[in-house]
Amino acid sequence: MESNSEQIQVLAETLEKEYGVPERSSTKSPLDTLIGTILSQNTSDTNSRNAYESLREEFPTWSKVHNTPVEDIADAIRSGGLANQKSHRIKRVLDWLHDHRGSLEMDWICDEDPYEILQQFTDIKGIGVKTISIVLCFNCRHDVFPVDTHVNRVAGRLGLVSEKSSPDRTFRKLDPIIPEGKSLTLHLNMIRHGREVCKSRNPRCGECVLLDMCEYGQRDLKGAA
Catalytic (active site) residue 64: no
Choosing from 86, 91, 130, 182, which is the catalytic residue? 130
Sequence-ordered list of residues with C-beta below 8 angstroms from that of 23, at least 6 positions apart, any chain: none
Measured between alpha carbons, how far is 173 from 159 in angstroms, rounded to an integer? 12
Q: Which of 193, 80, 123, 173 is nearest to 132 (CA)?
A: 123
Q: At what angle do helices 129-138 and 167-174 cross, to 10 degrees?
A: 50
Give which of 70, 78, 82 is closest to 53, Cα–Cα: 78
> Which amino acid does the sequence have at 94?
L
Q: Which residues are tagged catalytic?
A: 130
